[in-house]
Amino acid sequence: MTFHSASSRLETLGIVLPTASEPAARYANCVQVNGLLFVSGKGPSGGPKGKLGKDYSTEEGYHFARLAGIEVLAVLQSALGSLDKVKRVVKIQGFVNADPSYEEHHKVLNGCSDLMMDVFGEKGVHARSVLGAASVRDNLPIIIDSIFEVEDN
């Protein structure tokens, strides 16, 4: 099946974007500079708290990363008016709240990476990095930081 837009892919995937969450402190949800949109760190909706490898499995972490990716998409939708203005997903960086012995950070971040490719197709292929964190804000299981190339408004 051929999709023509990110909007149609969302519909086909059955994803309804929430209202973009507000920043947790004194910063902007996103900043656009020279055709790049930098989205501040977003965590999963629904309030999960805890560490991967202690409180949650890798499979649960994958789901949380996908939920955090949906939060990122909601910010994009709010900032741009349409996901179809995204030219390319440039970079995804994940901060996994993990037990010190945990080693599957990369599998957790696949939840967000897979979502970006599902929504944006070839434009969703991106560079990425993932780090284990001793702690993150609000004890979220993951926070995702991202960069997108977008159409100039």
What is the tens place of the pLDDT at every residue in 52-99? 999 999 999 999 999 999 999 999 999 999 999 999 999 999 999 999
- Count up the domains in the chain and report the number: 1
Is 1 within the bounds of a domain? no
Range with the poorest average pLDDT among 29-33, 44-48, 120-124, 140-144: 44-48
Mean pLDDT of 116-127: 96
Is 97 within the bounds of a domain? yes
Is 116 within the bounds of a domain? yes
Is-contact 94 112, C-beta < 8 A?
A: yes
Is this prediction's pTM over 0.75?
yes
At 50, the pLDDT band (50, 70, 90 cuts) reads: very high
Neighbours of 93 (CB within 10 A): 17
Is 140 within the bounds of a domain? yes
Closest CA to 94 of 118, 71, 122, 121: 71
Is 125 within the bounds of a domain? yes
Give CA–CA dist 77/52, Å, rounded: 29
Is 29 within the bounds of a domain? no
Give CA–CA dist 56/67, Å, rounded: 15
At 23, the pLDDT band (50, 70, 90 cuts) reads: confident
Is 137 within the bounds of a domain? yes
CATH code of the domain in which 80 resides = 3.30.1330.40
- pLDDT over threshold 80, residue 3: no
Give 19's Cβ-side CA count (13 Å radius). 2
- pLDDT over threshold 80, residue 4: no
- pLDDT over threshold 90, residue 152: no
> Mean pLDDT in the chain?
94
Residue type, 40: S
Range of the domain at 83: 6-20+34-150
Is 62 within the bounds of a domain? yes
**Angle between helical axes of 6-13 and 105-120 (0-180°, round to 10):** 120
